[in-house]
Amino acid sequence: MFIVNVEGAIYKEGKWLLVKRSEKEEHAAGSLAFVGGTVDQEGDAIDIFERTLHREIKEEVGIEVTNLQYVNSSSFISDTGKSVVDIVFVCDHSFGEPYVKCREEVDEIVWLTTEQILSSDEFPDYFKRNITLADQFKNT
């Protein structure tokens, strides 16, 4: 019925880790986004959102994160017409230096402050809302 997607708002030293999505991606190709991906069907599973996010972050940018905390969820229709439920977690950078590990999914790594994101016309309203929520949550 839905594709389930998880994203990590990764925070380190006053900046958010974003990726420029590969031009090869079916949805939002070339746009800046949080690191994340779709949840695989695993049957009976525990902590599937968190495990998926850890896996996707490791696969795409080669780092580890801690302190995953739920920020919000939303739904949208992808560029290919599929219904998606999207879940955002704020998390702390734990280990490793991020790099473009998967060229099929990521073209570039970018670190931006909350202010840079909110003042840019490059980001849609939903992303600015997510970053505002994540920013408030990380300060709690």
Task: Calculate the CA dihedral of residues 118, 60, 76, 24 and round it to 10 degrees.
Answer: 100
* Mean of the per-residue pLDDT values of the chain: 90
How is domain 3-138 classified at the CATH fold level? Answer: Nucleoside Triphosphate Pyrophosphohydrolase (3.90.79)
Q: Are 7 and 33 in contact (CB under 8 A)?
A: yes
Is pLDDT of 98 > 70?
Answer: yes
Is pLDDT of 135 > 60?
Answer: yes
pTM (two decimals): 0.90
CA distances from 40 to 74, 94, 97 (A): 19, 24, 26
Is pLDDT of 140 > 80?
Answer: no
CA-to-CA distance for 54 and 8, rounded, in angstroms?
A: 9
List the beta bridge partners of residue 74: 86
- Residue 25 binned pLDDT confidence (cut-offs 50, 70, 90): low
Exposed, middle or buried: residue 129 (CB in 10 Å: 0-12, 13-18, 19+)?
middle
Task: Identify the pLDDT of residue 26.
Answer: 67
Domain residue spans of the chain: 3-138
